[in-house]
C-alpha cells in the first residue's frame, strides 16, 4: 500500500502498525538480496516503534498523518546507534550517532516508523548507484541496470515496494536521477526548506534532503510533516510551514506552464525529449522558455561541487587515501587543486544566473525539463553516446539536473513510461518556496495517467 492508505488503515483500526512493519520486513527479506538497497535493517527498533504506535491508538491518542508508515533513509542521515557511513568505508569507524537526524524525528513524530538505512554512492559524489564498499544497488525494473545515484537505495526500495517512503539527498540531482531511472516520484525542495541537521554533508551550499515515493500524495504528506525552522541547520529557512497537501487537488486552473528549450532540448536521447513532450501535451503547455547560460551554470556547479567537496575531505584524503573509491578520491583530489579565483568567479556567476532564471517566473509558474539524458544505463557501463558523442556516464547523467539545483529551485521528478521498457523522468520546476505548484502539476499528471510509479515485478 502507499503511505496514505497505510496511515488511513492504521488510524481506522483496519490493520495494525505491527502488521504493516512485519510485512515490510518480510518483503525486504525476500527482495533485497537481489537489489542491495538496504545497508541496515532495523527490525527490532521498527517493531518496538510499531507497538508504541498501536498502543497509543488503543489509548485514544490521535493518529498522526503517517501513522504506521514504514520508511527508510539514505545512510548519510543520522540514525541513533549507528555510525553515519555516507556510503563510505572510512565513516564506519565513526562513533554511532547519538540521536536521529531532524527529518527522521519529524517523520516519526507524525507516526511513521523507521525501518532501515539505504545504500548510496560514496560520500554522495555519484550519479550511478555504484558503490565499491557496499556493492551496487540494482534497478528493480531491470536488475542489470543502474538505479542512478547517489540516492540509489532510496529509489530501489520505493520501486520494489519494500517501503512506501524514503529519504534521499540531492546536491546535483541525487534524488531526481534515481527517481527517473527507478520510475518513482521524488521531491527536491527549495534550498533551505527542509532541515539537513543530522546528515553528513557533501557540498554545503548545494545540499538538499527530500522524500521519494510512489505517489505524489505521499510526497506531500512527508514534505508537510518535515517542514519547519531548525536552528541546528544554519541555512534552514525561518519561514513558517506551508502545507502542500490541502491544495494538492486544486488542479491547473490559472497555472502558466512552459517547456525549457535551448540547452534542455539537446544533448540527450530522443526519448528523453519525447517524455517531456508527452507531459507538455497532457498539460496543454505550448510555450517554450530558455534558461540563460544553463551550460555555464552546469560548469560552475561542477567547480563549486569539486572545490567544496574536496575541502570537506582533505584530512581523509591525506590520512586514508586508499580507503576511498578510487573514482571518488581522484575527483576530490582534482577539486582540491582548483584555484580559488575560479571558484569565486563561479559563485559570482551563480548570483547572476539565479537572478536571470527567477526573472522567467514573472511570466510562467512552472517549467518542464528532462530529468536525465537517457534511460538507466547498464551496470558497469562507463560511456554512452549522446548526440553522436561518446561521453563518460558518471559525469554526464546530471546534465539536466545540475543547472536547477545550482540555484536551489524546488523540483518534483515525475516518472514517464513511453513503452514497456524502462522509465524516463521529467522535472517539474517551480519558483523558490512554491513546492506546492510542482506537486499540484505532478499530481494532475498522476491523476490522468501520464505519470505513474508502478511497483516492479521482480523475477
Nine-digit cell at 114? 523507521
Q: Collapsing DSSP states into helix, strand and coil, what is residue 368?
A: strand
Chain-centroid distance of CA 271 in Å reads: 22
Chain-centroid distance of CA 87 in Å reads: 15
How far apart (Å, rounded) are the C-alpha atoms in residues 288 and 361?
13
Measured at the CA of 328, the angle between CA 325 and CA 333, to 5 degrees, comes to: 120
Which residues participate in catalysis according to the annotation?
74, 150, 174
Beta bridge partners of 116: 41, 72
CB 239 within 8 A of CB 21: no
H-type helices in 112-172, by residue range? 152-159
Q: Which residues have a Cβ under 8 Å from the Cβ of 173 and sit 6 or more positions away?
A: 127, 371, 397, 398, 400, 401, 402, 405
Orientation angle between helical segments 3-11 and 17-35, nearest 10 degrees? 150
Measured at the CA of 113, the angle between CA 109 and CA 119, to 5 degrees, comes to: 120
H-type helices in 143-213, by residue range? 152-159, 176-182
How far apart (Å, rounded) are the C-alpha atoms in residues 42 and 99?
15
CB 219 within 8 A of CB 188: no
> How far is the first Cα of the chain from the last one, in angstroms, to the nearest whole number?
20
Give the CB-side neighbour count of residue 167, counting CA atoms within 13 A: 37
Q: Which residues have a Cβ under 8 Å from the Cβ of 386 and sit 6 or more positions away?
A: 267, 268, 269, 373, 374, 396
Amino acid at each position: 500500500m502507499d503511505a496514505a492508505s497505510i496511515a488511513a488503515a492504521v488510524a481506522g483500526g483496519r490493520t495494525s502498525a505491527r502488521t504493516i512493519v512485519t510485512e515490510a520486513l518480510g518483503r525486504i527479506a525476500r527482495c533485497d538480496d537481489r537489489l542491495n538497497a538496504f545497508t541496515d535493517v532495523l527490525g527490532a527498533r521498527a517493531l518496538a516503534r510499531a507497538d508504541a504506535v498501536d498502543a497509543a491508538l488503543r489509548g485514544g491518542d490521535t493518529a498522526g498523518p503517517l501513522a504506521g508508515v514504514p520508511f527508510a533513509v539514505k545512510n548519510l542521515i543520522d540514525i541513533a546507534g549507528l555510525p553515519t557511513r555516507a556510503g563510505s568505508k572510512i565513516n564506519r569507524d565513526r562513533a554511532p550517532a547519538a540521536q536521529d537526524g531532524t527529518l527522521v524525528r519529524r517523520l516519526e513524530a507524525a507516526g511513521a516508523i523507521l525501518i532501515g538505512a539505504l545504500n548510496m554512492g560514496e560520500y554522495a559524489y555519484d550519479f550511478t548507484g555504484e558503490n565499491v564498499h557496499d556493492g551496487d544497488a540494482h534497478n528493480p525494473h531491470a536488475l542489470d541496470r543502474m538505479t542512478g545515484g547517489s540516492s540509489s537505495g532510496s529509489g530501489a526500495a520505493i520501486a520494489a515496494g519494500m517501503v512506501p517512503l524514503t529519504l534521499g539527498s540531492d546536491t546535483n540531482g541525487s534524488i531526481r536521477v534515481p527517481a527517473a531511472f527507478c520510475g518513482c516520484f521524488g521531491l527536491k525542495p527549495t534550498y533551505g526548506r527542509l532541515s539537513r541537521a543530522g546528515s553528513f554533508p557533501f557540498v554545503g551550499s548545494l545540499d538538499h534532503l527530500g522524500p521519494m515515493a510512489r505517489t505524489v500524495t505521499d510526497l506531500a504528506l512527508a514534505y508537510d510533516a518535515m517542514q519547519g525552522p531548525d536552528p541546528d541547520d544554519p541555512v534552514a529557512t525561518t519561514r513558517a510551514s506551508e502545507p502542500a497537501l490541502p491544495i494538492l487537488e486544486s488542479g491547473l486552473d490559472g497555472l502558466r506552464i512552459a517547456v525549457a528549450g535551448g540547452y534542455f532540448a539537446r544533448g540527450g536521447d530522443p526519448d528523453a525529449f519525447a517524455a517531456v513532450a508527452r507531459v507538455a501535451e497532457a498539460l496543454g503547455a505550448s510555450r517554450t522558455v530558455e534558461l540563460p547560460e544553463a551550460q555555464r551554470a552546469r560548469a560552475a556547479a561542477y567547480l563549486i561541487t569539486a572545490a567544496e567537496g574536496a575541502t570537506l575531505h582533505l584530512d581523509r584524503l591525506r590520512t586514508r587515501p586508499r580507503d576511498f573509491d578510487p573514482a571518488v578520491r581522484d575527483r576530490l583530489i582534482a577539486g582540491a587543486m582548483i584555484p580559488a579565483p575560479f571558484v569565486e568567479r563561479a559563485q559570482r556567476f551563480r548570483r547572476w544566473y539565479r537572478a536571470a532564471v527567477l526573472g522567467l517566473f514573472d511570466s510562467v509558474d512552472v517549467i518542464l525539463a528532462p530529468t536525465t539524458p537517457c534511460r538507466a544505463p547498464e551496470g558497469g557501463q562507463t560511456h554512452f553516446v549522446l548526440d553522436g558523442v561518446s561521453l563518460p556516464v558518471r559525469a554526464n547523467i546530471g546534465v539536466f539536473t545540475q543547472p536547477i539545483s545550482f540555484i536551489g529551485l524546488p523540483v518534483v521528478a515525475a516518472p514517464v513510461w513511453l513503452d514497456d521498457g524502462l522509465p524516463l523522468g521529467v522535472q517539474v520546476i517551480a519558483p523558490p518556496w512554491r513546492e506546492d505548484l510542482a506537486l499540484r502539476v505532478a499530481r494532475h499528471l498522476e491523476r490522468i495517467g501520464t505519470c505513474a510509479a508502478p511497483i516492479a515485478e521482480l523475477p
